[in-house]
Chain A
Amino acid sequence: MRSCAESFEAYILRALGRDHGANLLPRGLDITLCDQIFLIASGLIWNIYFAGLAILFGFGLAIAVAVAKFSENPWIWRPAAAFVFVFRGSPLFIQFFFFYSAFVLLPRSGIDIPLGFVTLTVKTSALTTAQVGGLVVLILNTTAYSAELFYGALRSIPKGDLEAADAYGMSGFVKFRRVVFPSMLRLAWPSYTNEAIFLTHSTTLVFLSAFPARQQSGEAFYYARYFVDQTFNPFVAYPLVALYFVGLTLAIIGLFGLMNRYLNRHMPRERRRRIRFRPQYIR
C-alpha cells in the first residue's frame, strides 16, 4: 500500500500524462483514499485549462457576436443570431460528438489554402485531440451563451448615456469604447459570472463524449468516474469531485466579484449590481 506522500508524488501531476508521475493509474484493491484525492485534484488542471482559455477567447468573440446581433443590418445580425440560436438551442454534449466526428473527417496532412502567391497549410490533426478540438467547441459554445448576455446588456444601456455621448460629439469606435462597452460590461457582469461558472462545470463533459483521453490524462470528473468503475463505490469519488467543484465555483465568484467591484466603482452604493449565484448547469 502506498503512503499518502507517495500517492501525492505519483498522481498530483498525472493528468499531464505518463511522464509526470506514475505510469499507470491505481487499479482495483490497490486504490487508496489519498490516490483518489490527489488524482482527482490533478484532473482539475484540465478543468482550469479548458475553462480559462474558453473564457479568455470566448469573451472577445462574444462581444463581437453581440455587437453583430445588435446591428441593424440584416446581413450582419441574421448570421449572428443564427449562430447564437444553434449553439444555445442544442446540447453541448451533442455538439462535442458532432464536432469530433467532423474533425476526424478532416485530412490528416492538413488543408492547403492557396492564396495566389503562397499556399497556407493549416494543421488539422490537433483538432481531434481534446486539448484543441474540445477547447474549440467550448469556445464556440460559451461565445454563443455570453453573446446572448451581452446582447441583452446592449439593449438595456440607458438611452441618456448614449445621448450624452452624442452630445459630446463621440461617434463610432470612440463612443463604443468609452460609453457603450463599459456600460454593457457592467450590466452583463453578474450574469456573465454565472456563465463562467456553468462553463467550468461543463468542462466535465469534454472527456465523457467523443474526445479521447490520451495516456489516461483527463479532467477531474473523468478520474472520478474511473474510480467509481474500479471500486464500484460512488460514495467517495463523486462527493470529492463535487467538493472540488464547489471550491472552483467559489474561486470564480471571488475573482469575478473583484472585477464587479471595479466595474461598479463609480456607482452609488445602493445601485450596484450584486453577483448572485444562480446555477443552471446543463447546457
Chain B
Amino acid sequence: MFSFCTDPSTLPQWQWFACYLTTATHFAFYRSFLMVLLLLAITAPLALGMGLLGAMAVRSRIWPVSWLGKGYVSVVRGVPDIVFFMFVPIALGQGIEWVFHHIQCPDWDQPIRQGNDFIVCREAKVPPVGAPAWVRNTYAFGMAVVAFALVFGAFAANTLHGAMQAVPRAQVETAEAYGMSRAQTFRRIVMPQMWVYALPGLSNIWQILIKATPLLFLLGLQDAVYWARELGGQKTSLYTYPHPDWRVWYFLVLLCFYLFLTWGSERIFARLNMRLSRGQATAAGERMRKAAA
C-alpha cells in the first residue's frame, strides 16, 4: 500500500503496522464487515416481508392459507435456528439441482441418491461446473439469505400477528361502521397503527438477527470470522509479516464491532419508537400529546 512497505522486516514499529494493516488480505477482512452489513440490509426487509405475508396468512379466513401460516410459524420457531441455518442451504441446493436434473436430463436412468452420493447430471449442477469463484460465493450468500429470511420471517410473523391483534378493537369497529371492507380496514386502519405495537418485538428480532450473522462462517463463506481466524493465527518467519498468535485481538475487534452495532441500533429503535408513538392511543402517545399542549 505505502511506498515504504517493500521490506517490512526493517521497518520501525508504526510503519510496520501501517503496512501490515493494509495488506490485501486485510482489505478482504475489512470487506467482510461490509458483507455482514449487506446481509443485514438484504435479510431484514426480506424477513419483514415474509413476516407480513406469514401474519396475513395466519389471519386469513381461508383455512388452508391460515393453516399454512400457522404451520410455518410454529415449525420454524419450534426447531433450533442453527438446525435451520445448516439444513435450508443444503436442502434447497439439492432441491434446485433435483428440479434442474429432471428438466434438463429427462433420459437419465440412474438414481440420484446412490448410497451416500447425490448425483445429478452435469448440466443440472448449480452453480454450473467451472463457474468463477464470485458466482459460487454469491450463490452461497444467496442461500444464506434465504435461510435467514425463512427463520426470521417466522419470528417477524409472530410479532406482527400479535401487533395486528393489539390494534384497539374500537378502531376496527369504527372502520366497519363506516362501511369499510375487511381489506380496506386492514389497509387504512390496522396497517398504519400496528407498527407501534410491533416495534419492541421487531427491535428484539433485529438484535437477534445481528447476533446471528457470524453463523455465516458455518456455511463456508469467507466472512469476518473466517478472516479473523486466518489473519490472527501465528505466522512464522516464512511470512512477510511474522507475528505470534493474535487471534484474540482480531476477535476482540469483532466483538467490539458487534457491540457497536447492537448499541447503535438500540438507540435508533428508541428514537423510532418515539416517532411512531406520536398521535397513537397509547400511554406514550398520550404523554406526548399532553407535553405538547
Which single member of B116, B212, B214, B248 contacts A230 (CB below 8 Å)? Answer: B116
Which single member of A85, A86, A235, A282 contacts B211 (CB below 8 Å)? Answer: A282
Contacts of B203 in A (CB 8 A): none
Shortest Cβ distance from residue A9 to the other chain B in the assembled complex, whole angstroms: 24
Contacts A97-B228, A101-B232, A105-B248 known; A90 to B83 CB distance under 8 Å? Answer: no
Q: Residue on B with the closest CB to A232?
A: B118
A90-106 contacts to B, CB under 8 A, are 90-95, 97-98, 101-102, 104-105
Shortest Cβ distance from residue A236 to the other chain B in the assembled complex, whole angstroms: 11
Stretch in A121-129, A132-140, A158-166, A200-208 touching the partner: A200-208
Q: In the docked arrangement, what's the CA distance between A102 and B91, Å?
A: 36
Contacts of B212 in A (CB 8 A): 91, 282
Contacts A101-B251, A235-B91, A242-B79 known; A90 to B86 CB distance under 8 Å? Answer: no
Q: Residue on A with the closest CB to B260?
A: A89
Contacts of A224 in B (CB 8 A): 83
Contacts of B77 in A (CB 8 A): 279
Shortest Cβ distance from residue B253 to the other chain A in the assembled complex, whole angstroms: 10
Contacts of A97 in B (CB 8 A): 225, 228-229, 247, 251, 254
Contacts of B215 in A (CB 8 A): 93, 282
Shortest Cβ distance from residue A278 to the other chain B in the assembled complex, whole angstroms: 9
**A221, A280, A281, A282 interface centre (most CB from chain B within 10 Å):** A282
Q: Residue on A with the closest CB to B80?
A: A201
Contacts of A18 in B (CB 8 A): none
Pairwise interchain contact B117-A89, C-beta atoms closer than 8 A: no
Per-residue interface assignment for chain B, residues 247 to 288, with 1 indicating a CB less than 8 Å from any chain A CB and 0 otherwise: 110011011001100110000000000000000000000000
A53-97 contacts to B, CB under 8 A, are 85-86, 88-95, 97
Shortest Cβ distance from residue A172 to the other chain B in the assembled complex, whole angstroms: 35
Q: In the docked arrangement, what's the CA distance between A205 and B94, Å?
A: 25
Contacts of B113 in A (CB 8 A): 233
Shortest Cβ distance from residue B181 to the other chain A in the assembled complex, whole angstroms: 34
A28 on the B face (CB < 8 A): yes
Shortest Cβ distance from residue B29 to the other chain A in the assembled complex, whole angstroms: 14
A178-218 contacts to B, CB under 8 A, are 201, 204-205, 208
Pairwise interchain contact A281-B228, C-beta atoms closer than 8 A: no
Pairwise interchain contact A98-B252, C-beta atoms closer than 8 A: yes
What number of residue pairs across chains A and B have CB atoms under 8 A from each other? 122
Contacts A90-B258, A91-B258 known; A238 to B83 CB distance under 8 Å? Answer: yes
Contacts of A101 in B (CB 8 A): 232, 245, 247-248, 251
A225 on the B face (CB < 8 A): yes
Q: Residue on A with the closest CB to B158?
A: A278
A283 on the B face (CB < 8 A): yes
Which single member of B86, B205, B248, B263 contacts A89 (CB below 8 Å)? Answer: B263
Pairwise interchain contact B254-A94, C-beta atoms closer than 8 A: yes
Contacts of A88 in B (CB 8 A): 262
Shortest Cβ distance from residue A21 to the other chain B in the assembled complex, whole angstroms: 22
Pairwise interchain contact B211-A281, C-beta atoms closer than 8 A: no
Interface size class of B (residues with CB under 8 A): 35 or more
Contacts of B155 in A (CB 8 A): 280
Contacts of B78 in A (CB 8 A): 246, 249, 279
Q: In the docked arrangement, what's the CA distance between A163 and B238, Å?
A: 71
Which single member of B213, B232, B245 contacts A91 (CB below 8 Å)? Answer: B213
Pairwise interchain contact A234-B91, C-beta atoms closer than 8 A: yes
Shortest Cβ distance from residue B265 to the other chain A in the assembled complex, whole angstroms: 10
B99 on the A face (CB < 8 A): no
Contacts A93-B225, A97-B228 known; A282 to B83 CB distance under 8 Å? Answer: no
Pairwise interchain contact A225-B80, C-beta atoms closer than 8 A: no
B218 on the A face (CB < 8 A): yes
Q: Residue on A with the closest CB to B118?
A: A232
Pairwise interchain contact A208-B218, C-beta atoms closer than 8 A: yes
Q: Residue on A with the closest CB to B259?
A: A89
Pairwise interchain contact A98-B251, C-beta atoms closer than 8 A: yes
Shortest Cβ distance from residue A235 to the other chain B in the assembled complex, whole angstroms: 7
Pairwise interchain contact A94-B83, C-beta atoms closer than 8 A: no
Some 18 contacts from A to B, beta carbons below 8 A apart, are A28-B116, A29-B115, A89-B259, A91-B258, A94-B214, A97-B247, A104-B247, A221-B83, A228-B86, A234-B86, A234-B94, A241-B80, A242-B80, A245-B83, A279-B77, A280-B204, A282-B82, A283-B208
Q: Other CB < 8 Å A-B pairs besides A97-B247, A234-B90, 7 of them?
A: A101-B248, A102-B248, A204-B80, A225-B86, A234-B86, A246-B79, A279-B78
**The 9 A-B residue pairs with the shortest CB-CB distance in the complex, in nearest-first order:** A101-B247, A98-B251, A91-B211, A281-B81, A282-B212, A89-B262, A101-B248, A242-B79, A234-B90
Binding site for A on B (CB under 8 A): 77-83, 86-87, 90-91, 94, 113, 115-118, 155, 204-205, 208-215, 217-218, 225, 228-229, 232, 245, 247-248, 251-252, 254-255, 258-259, 262-263
